[in-house]
Structure 1
């Protein structure tokens, strides 16, 4: 028998278990193996190992999925690094990185190699379809001018498979597998800044070079991406394009389809059906898909011909996974680019302070786009409105409502931005002061008026709106604060003729909601958008010329040291939606803290000013990027148990820590109670990354030794929340 180390989804420190098989199995092979009383999927990590246990206790491999291509060594090295850096069991990290179809104990259907079609010499002698058959003629012209694959042909004519089969039977069509797609020239002409940025990245082809593409909002970063991508794709290599959120993909995919119609593309995000996601994953693995677009989990996609990585909106916190395997996709993307010896572009109008610091220390090359791509477009005029002494109508000041009225009469498109969905953030009794909190979390229940519900936005607990106060019986319950639903209702009363559309997680739950929204905006059938952070980034609405920001101060009251950075990015991104075409843009930000430096920097549209001041403050306190952090968290039915668990280990580990590592806490988390569990945390901090990881390893050893049946714990490296 040959013995193998196999990675399976179990919380073991090493992450690998030993199994036997009569033959040596190639590393990366998918198998089904017995574990406890069930059969589970696993990945062969090493064959020909020497067992460290009695061989009579070693179980055999049940099934070998030999028809599936093994996962490559580069992918296994990526997962080993991820598990090691984030201090997570290797088997569980592997399971987190695989699509659902490869975690099951049945064979995965293998995708057929893509076929490309073109008119052969006989076909070119035939008469083209008549002009009044527009779709049929477009299909014929595509076959005459290039070698498109069937998905691209279906975009031109829904009956493309049938027509191509008919023409092939007549001997007019040639089929073949193409190593590199034929790319049509771009209709967009890059300005000098864009040309310089694209040329710098292209010059680094075939070698690892990280670039920070800092471009003001509307400066055309996407066209720079596309120009570099076109060269890589034309050479037959693959491109990994990472986006922070799913809602950015519809508009981008439309642009991708227009620019790269003949390129086999895979789209990987959490709302893709499990079967389709597995197939796209395998197409990418086999090199069939050349352009891979996805959210953070797509960073783990095995790519044999990787030639370029693009991380758009690199500052976005959505790239950080906040549970289980707590990885940062942007940071892993940089590691992958180094592994693949290819360039990587990190793009943003408001780069993370970590990336900005690396650009100025020489680790990244800084590329700048300092003007808007549309020649007539200018940066918006930003006004900071002090509302401390102003009377508000459901969150709106009189100047704000006047601006909305005037812009509506002039035919402009307005965006009212409030990063809080629901009707109101709280419901309370005006007689006794009772507030309706979530029974499972230390959070207020949010009023959703149309659904007639109170909802917890943290654990999704829901209940019907109560008819009376449970403490005093008062039936006059008051909605406090403003959410997007209440703002929408207020605007419908203030501007009854305006066509208003609310855009938040509640209103865009269905698959086609975003496509319908873009269509209605392009048809000029919306006058005012009311939206949350979903509308703040990545979208390009040419008519949008007025942005109004309500309740901009909320995050500044947070204890999180990153709160000002996040608010600045949020305000710059949402401000950047205005004035991206001919119409001049205007932004009005209502605030009760008008003297805060964040608002001064936003008003000046000056990222450098903000970054320099914020980094000076971070340096003073040795905070990231000048120091490194890890969070040790514990949760239990009561906070006392969680705190004591961390206290006990802190005392034991203190004598073993490197001198450069300090321990802060433990203390209750800002939101103590979540989903009926109470949470505490402790931070490890050090200016030395290696020393920090040594300290985390010491903690892990003791956490595993001090297991407590009531306590769950986790480790978060480079935490993004406090």
Structure 2
């Protein structure tokens, strides 16, 4: 008798195991990588076949049959499946949830994995054989042939270019053009839409060091304005000419449109977009087109690291230092680190670029794991901005600005230039306080103050999204004087509108850019070069090119000097340098004013005197002495509960279980349970248990055993808990 195989299926469930099912009736045996609709408890879920097995440890009468096979061929190829399995093991997350996260929502929900049938028109071999300008005496037909020599076009594209159906029909009847399906369409000439820019010596050397094939991680360490993007573009060009695809990761959705526009200008190939701002249908199509090899360049944010590639050629991670690449909820993966593993798995080159590389990447360079490609030379019309500290102690401030900063701002506007004012606080004021009794507007759900917003007028907690009306009087003493303390982007914007009534003031933060359309409109206005004041948060710091910004004012540079997070100084320095990089990007002399109450602080002095890399060397030495990442490996067990004693006791029991497996020693240390920096958030009390090991392999071997024990604890079902491997936030 032939063996009757069962299906081992990964189901999107928090349970860390696979489930065995009988094959669906009346269909071929599904292969690994295919989706199934399966019964799971009282619901139906979409799972993925992981393997076919001849027997099961489950009782035969307990086995259920899968309801339906959703694919005729595997949706995940063996390499993708291996990639997701590795990610699930490394980040200690259920495989079913990882596979689900790797899919766009329609496929996750069971929709058919089919590209819509779309007809396109292409020139035939006979048409290619005709000389330019033929057929003679048929000017419109000759013009359409010229257009189609550059690549396939849809009927809508042809009509929009001014050609009638009669012209298209005539060429079809002569056998010079033909209709093809989207999957069959092809381009006959090269991928370039515009000529590459000439490279300077450093750029040429960096490009030559990036291999065409084979695994190699290159850290493209280039100062702002040094032309990192041009190196990306020319490295991608080589891959496109070889018939391969490129995957480009960017940290923020806001950067995607300008990145896509630049790539579309340079290349005449289809470009796919994958991020949460794209509607589900569009993301689904981009995912399927990438899988079919139709989209030659795929650009996206964090989740795009899971995009399927039929012909992988190169992976680019822009602004690799950015913490946006680390998912902070649910499946807590780092897209940057997964990109490294994926490049190794696919045996393709990986290029990670930044003007302020992460300490992890610099440590990997020092260890010989990455090659470092330096770009120190800025573009000929880019003048290095002066970074100047402004001591604001005992100085009168106007809405957070010193006299020196105001004078510099007004002088730049009078010269017809643009000014960027950076304040990393949204809203009108971070605190509403009673003048008489000191009452403060606090969030009832979090250990946080509520931010006052003027448009619309309300109090808003930026941690849990709780909102409420602004009281007319103090709830405690009934006093009528409620003062706004501190300044946010709204208040700074209002102040500039008051003192500069004839100058446009553009506020760019998460409140003012709810829609991509609104953000693009403001960015277009900035690109006109007309004098204006930009007020914004770190959204303005990431990758934007503002040619007419000459002056940058950073209102408060002290945030990272006294934080409990050991990464805070690194993040502060990266943010300052990235914001400063917006100044003087073309022929203007850049000026950056750094307001601080601690201008004599050693870290700030080191940043000002030796730049980011001088400070980074010092921070790496301190991390090594303290045995902190990247010189050790860290895991956080996070727990939260409406009853603080439950979360605390759960972590205490988890620590006891851990110490039974590996007792605390100098190579494997425990810290906690400790309250989180914001202990109460969204009505839940949050605590942490920190593990630190000298050996990543030892930690990875320990974690599955420990989690299995944690799941047996009674309290594990009464608290929310999560494992965070390589955390970026440790407070």
Query: What band does the TM-score fall into relative to the shorter chain?
Result: over 0.9
| Whole-angstrom CA distance in 1 between matches of 2:138 and 2:405 | 57
Residues 192 and 685 (structure 1 numbering): CA distance in 2 closer, same or farther, change over 3 Å?
A: same
Which whole-Å CA distance do the structure 2 matches of 1:715 and 1:217 have between them?
36
1:3 aligns with 6
Q: Determine whether 1:193 maps to 2:202.
A: yes
TM-score for both structures, normalised by structure 1 = 0.94
Distance 2:439 2:137 in 1: 76
Matches within 5 A, 1:143-222: 143-144=148-149, 146-150=150-154, 154=157, 157=160, 165=168, 168-169=171-172, 171=174, 172-174=176-178, 177-178=185-186, 182-184=190-192, 186-201=195-210, 204-222=211-229
Query: Distance between the aligned counterparts of 1:527 and 1:155, measured in 2?
Result: 41
State which drifts further: 176-185 or 491-500.
176-185
**Contact kept? 2:389, 2:599, Cα under 8 Å:** yes
* Cα 1:16–1:85 shift into 2, 3 Å: farther
Say which is worse superposed, 159-168 or 566-575, in terms of deviation. Answer: 159-168
Determine the structure 2 residue equivalent to 1:24. 29
Deviates more, 1:42-51 or 1:83-92: 42-51
Aligned-pair CA distance for 1:163: 8.9
Say which is worse superposed, 595-604 or 71-80, in terms of deviation.
595-604
What is aligned with 1:60?
65
Residues 432 and 485, structure 2, Cα contact 8 Å, conserved in 1: yes
CA RMSD in angstroms, aligned pairs only:
2.4
Distance 1:142 1:483 in 2: 52
Stretches of structure 1 lacking an aligned partner (at least 5 in a row): none
Q: Name the structure 1 match of 2:341.
A: 335
Give me the whole-angstrom Cα distance separating, in 2, the residues matched to 1:693 and 1:230. Answer: 39
Say if 1:116 and 1:149, in contact at 8 Å, map to a contact too. Answer: yes
Correspondence for 2:555: 550
Cα drift, residue 113 of structure 1: 7.5
CA positional deviation for 1:140:
6.8
User: 1:575-590, aligned counterparts within 5 Å?
Assistant: 575-590=580-595
Superposed CA offset, 1:114-170 (max 9, x none): 84634825684147999xx9xx999775434x224549x949947789698556556
Give the distance between the partners of 2:163 and 2:673, measured in 1 at CA: 63
- CA offsets per residue over residues 373-420 of structure 1, 9 Å max, x none? x21212101100111121111101000000011000000111000111
Instruction: Give how far 1:53 is off.
Output: 1.4
Give, in whole Å, the separation in 2 of the partners of 1:229 and 1:256. Answer: 10
Instruction: Output the CA distance in 1 between the equivalents of 2:440 and 2:279.
Output: 40
CA distance in 2 between counterparts of 1:693 and 1:208 reads 24
- CA apart distance, 1:179: 7.4
Distance 2:464 2:356 in 1: 31
Change (3 A) 1:181 1:449: farther
Pairing 1:563-642 to 2, within 5 Å after superposition: 563-604=568-609, 606-642=611-647
Is the Cα–Cα contact under 8 Å of residues 129 and 140 in structure 1 kept in the other structure?
Answer: no
- Establish whether residue 685 from structure 1 lines up as the match of residue 692 from structure 2: yes
Out of 370, 381, 389, the residue aligned to residue 376 of structure 2 is 370
Partner secondary structure for residue 473 of structure 1: coil
Deviations 1:520-570 (A, max 9, x none): 122234511101100002001111111000011123231000000000000
**TM-score, structure 2 as length reference:** 0.93
Which residue number in structure 2 is paired with residue 264 of structure 1?
Answer: 270
| Alpha-carbon shift at residue 688 of structure 1 (Å) | 1.1
1 CA distance for matches of 2:448 and 2:137? Answer: 66
Instruction: State the distance in 1 between where 2:447 and 2:306 align.
Output: 35
Quote the Cα distance in structure 1 between the aligned partners of 2:720 and 2:405. Answer: 48
Please give the per-residue CA displacement for 1:250-288, whole angstroms capped at 9, x wherever unaligned.
11111111001x211110001110111111111111212
Q: 2:273·2:298 contact (CA, 8 Å) conserved in 1?
A: yes
The residue number in structure 2 matching 1:714 is: 722
Write the deviation string for residues 44-83 of structure 1: whole angstroms up to 9, x where unpaired.
Answer: 1111441111222211121112345531011100111001
The answer to whether the aligner puts 1:13 opposite 2:22 as a matched pair is: no
Please show how residues 309-458 of structure 1 align to structure 2 within 5 Å.
Answer: 309-372=315-378, 374-458=379-463
Whole-Å separation in 2 of the counterparts to 1:279 and 1:546: 43
Residue in 1 aligned with 2:39? 34
SS of structure 2 residue aligned to 1:304:
coil
Over 3 Å counting, the alpha-carbon distance change for 1:439 and 1:127 in structure 2 is: farther
In 1, Cα distance between equivalents of 2:164 and 2:646: 64
Secondary structure of 1:20's partner? coil
- How much does 1:12 deviate? 1.9
SS at match of 2:493: helix
Contact preservation (8 Å) 1:30, 1:68: no
Distance 2:528 2:9 in 1: 56
Structure 1 window deviating more from structure 2 (560-569 vs 97-106): it is 97-106
Deviation for aligned residue 1:111: 4.2
Distance across 2 between alignment mates of 1:443 and 1:706 = 32
Distance 1:289 1:137 in 2: 28
Provide the rounded CA distance (Å) in 2 between the counterparts of 1:156 and 1:534.
39
- Secondary structure of 2:552's partner? strand
8 A Cα contact 1:634 1:681, kept in partner: yes
Q: Is the 8 A contact 1:633 1:681 kept in 2?
A: yes
Alpha-carbon distance between aligned partners in 1 of 2:163 and 2:470, rounded to the nearest angstrom:
53
Range with greater deviation from structure 2 (108-117 or 82-91): 108-117
| C-alpha distance after superposition, 1:159-213 (max 9, x if no partner) | 7896985565564534563278722252411111111111111xx2221000000
CA distance in 1, matches of 2:545, 2:241: 27
Looking at structure 2, the residues matched to 377 and 157 of structure 1 have their Cα atoms a distance apart, in angstroms, of: 40
Secondary structure, counterpart of 2:516 in structure 1:
coil
**How far apart, CA to CA, are the structure 2 residues paired with 1:163 and 1:26?**
48
1 CA distance for matches of 2:219 and 2:338? 15
Change in CA separation of 1:278 and 1:162 when aligned onto 2, cut-off 3 Å: farther
Q: Partners in 1 of 2:163 and 2:285 — Cα distance?
A: 22
CA distance in 1, matches of 2:138, 2:729: 60
By how many angstroms is 1:636 displaced? 0.5
Structure 1 residue matching 2:22: 3-state secondary structure: strand
Q: 1:5, 1:44 within 8 Å by CA — same for their partners in 2? A: yes
The change in CA–CA distance for 1:129 and 1:323 in structure 2 (over 3 A counts) is farther
Distance 1:162 1:245, change over 3 A: farther
1:583, distance to aligned residue in structure 2 (A): 0.8
Aligned partner (choices 226, 232, 236) of residue 225 of structure 1: 232
Residue 495 of structure 1, CA deviation: 1.8
Checking the alignment, whether the CA contact within 8 Å between 1:20 and 1:58 is kept in structure 2 is no
Instruction: Please give the secondary structure, in 1, of the residue aligned with 2:316.
Output: strand
CA distance in 1, matches of 2:493, 2:652: 48
Task: Report if the CA contact (8 A) 1:214-1:367 is conserved.
Answer: yes
Q: Secondary structure at the match of 1:411?
A: coil
